[in-house]
C-alpha cells in the first residue's frame, strides 16, 4: 500500500500476484506487492488499462496500448532493465536502473515516440521501447 498516496489506497482494490483479493475497492485502481519475479521493493497501483498490460506482461503475451493508463510506484523500485522487460538482474548491456518514486503511463505507441529513452535525461523517459510493454516513466522524486 506504499505505492500510492493515502487518499487513493482507501478506495483501491488490493490483490496479491495470484489474483487473490485482499481488500475490495471502488475507485478503479488495483494495488499489489512487488511482482514475484523481481527482488526488492516495487509495489504498484494500476488502473484498468495497466491491469491489462500487467496480465499480458506476466503471461509474456502480446499487448498494444489503445488508451492512456496511469500507474503509481511512489515507493520506487529496487531495479529493472530499461531495455529488457524480463531481465532478472543487471548486465553490461541491459541499462539496469533503480528508480525512485515515479508514475508510469501507457499510451498508444506513436504517442511515446517524442520521448527519450535515457533514464538520466532529467525527466520522463520511455522504458522497454520497441517492445509490447513500452511505457513512459515519470520520476517524481530523487533516485
Domain that includes residue 62, residue range:
6-139
Residues 91-120 pLDDT 10s: 999 999 999 999 999 999 999 999 999 999
36 in any annotated domain: yes
Number of domains composing the chain = 1
135 in any annotated domain: yes
106 in any annotated domain: yes
Rounded to an integer, the average pLDDT of 66-87 is 93
17 in any annotated domain: yes
Residue 22 backbone phi and psi in degrees, to 5: -95, -25
Greatest Cα-to-Cα distance within the chain, rounded to the nearest angstrom: 43
pLDDT band per the 50, 70, 90 thresholds, residue 9: confident
Rounded to an integer, the average pLDDT of 36-49 is 85
Question: What does pTM read for this prediction?
Answer: 0.90
11 in any annotated domain: yes
Name the CA radius of gyration of the chain, rounded: 14
User: Residue 38 has which C-alpha cell?
Assistant: 523481481
The residue to which cell 500510492 is assigned: 4
DSSP letter string, 74-115: TT--S-EESS-TT--S--TTS-EE---SEEEEE--HHHHTTS
1 in any annotated domain: no
Amino acid at each position: 500500500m506504499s505505492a500510492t498516496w493515502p487518499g487513493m489506497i482507501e478506495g483501491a482494490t488490493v490483490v496479491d500476484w495470484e489474483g487473490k483479493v485482499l481488500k475490495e475497492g471502488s475507485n478503479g485502481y488495483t494495488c499489489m506487492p512487488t511482482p514475484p519475479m523481481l527482488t526488492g521493493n516495487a509495489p504498484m497501483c494500476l488502473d484498468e488499462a495497466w491491469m491489462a498490460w500487467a496480465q499480458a506482461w506476466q503471461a509474456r503475451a502480446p499487448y498494444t496500448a489503445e488508451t492512456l493508463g496511469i500507474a503509481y510506484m511512489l515507493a520506487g523500485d529496487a531495479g529493472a532493465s530499461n531495455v529488457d522487460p524480463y531481465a532478472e538482474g543487471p548486465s553490461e548491456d541491459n541499462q539496469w536502473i533503480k528508480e525512485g518514486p515515479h508514475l508510469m503511463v501507457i499510451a498508444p505507441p506513436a504517442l511515446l515516440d517524442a520521448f527519450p529513452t535515457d533514464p538520466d535525461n532529467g525527466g520522463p523517459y520511455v522504458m522497454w521501447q520497441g517492445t509490447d510493454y513500452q511505457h513512459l516513466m515519470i520520476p517524481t522524486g530523487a533516485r
